[in-house]
Structures are given as C-alpha cells and as structure tokens.
Amino acid sequence: MTIAAVYAGTFDPVTLGHADIARRAARAFGGLVVLVIPNGNKKPLFSAAERVALLKETFQDEPLIRVEQADGLLADYLKKNNLHILVRGVRGAADMEHELTNAYYNKLFCPGAETVFLPARPEYAFLSSSAVREAAGYGGDVSALVPPCVASALKGKFDK
C-alpha cells in the first residue's frame, strides 16, 4: 500500500464519524495513515497505546488504512515520512475556523503540506469524542456512535 495522506488526531475515542472520514480519505487518496498524536490541551481518557489498539481493531479489514502513533509536531511527522497531504474532517463552521488555523501552522512548519477538508456526513455532523465520553461516563449507551470495540472499551472504563 502506498500512503498518500495522513489523518491525524487524538481519537479519544474514535467515533463512527472519524471512521467514515478515514475510509473516504483512504479511497480518495489510495492509502491513508490514521495518526494518533498528542494534544496538550486535552487530557485523554484512553492512553495513546489504547487508542492505537482501538483504531487498529476498527480498521483491521481496511487494506488502505494504516494506524500509527507519533509525538511532537505533525509537521515533523510529515517531513520525516515525506508526506504532504493532511486530511481533516469538518462538521461545520466552528470546525472550519479551527482547522484553517491548524492548516496555516502546518503549512508554516512544513511548507509542502496541503490540507484537504472533508465534510462530515449529515448523520455524523453532531458527533464528537467529548460528547461520547461524557455520555458513556453517565452510563449512556453510545454503541450507535462508535465502533463496537470502542463501545466495549468505554464500558470497561466506566463500569469500574
């Protein structure tokens, strides 16, 4: 598989919206790295290793998708791996404003980087990892919002 694009995020946890963006991007670009990267502004529920494992299980039957983990700047990962296309999913105007800022900084630190925005499908436009975590924390059934492995992992986190 030739990797052409990167879809990076914290994926804490991966949702069906994330999975949809990844699958669409993999088909569009012929190969995709789903990259777990840190975000200093977030305190994750799942460790990076747990998130990688959940993503690998989610995409286990997807030959065009590879899951990896990196620390540091996304731009450094791109340069190190000679990659130039970043895929970002956007749910609406608020996401777009935030993602445009990120695209600017990625371009600043990696001049060859190009960001491609994929709009969320309507059924996923409301979906966020933070809302899933909150609902699961209160015992809500989030199985319609996340892959089965993630629903099980969330239940394990909160049923203790």
Residue 152 annotated to the active site: no
pLDDT for 43 equals: 86
Catalytic, 107? Answer no
Measuring CA to CA, which residue among 74, 85, 89, 99 is closest to residue 128?
89
**Could you say which of 24, 66, 84, 91 is catalytic?**
91
pLDDT given at position 15: 97
Specify the pLDDT at position 40: 73
> In sequence order, what are the residues at sequence separation of 6 or more whose Cβ sits closer than 8 angstroms to the Cβ of residue 122?
none
Annotated catalytic residue within 27, 42, 80, 98 = 42
Select from 3.40.50.620, 3.40.50.150, 3.40.50.1000, 1.20.120.420 the CATH code of 5-158.
Answer: 3.40.50.620
Residues of the chain with pLDDT under 50: none
Please confirm, yes or no, whether 42 is among the known catalytic residues.
yes
Active site annotation includes 24: no
Boundaries of every domain in the chain: 5-158
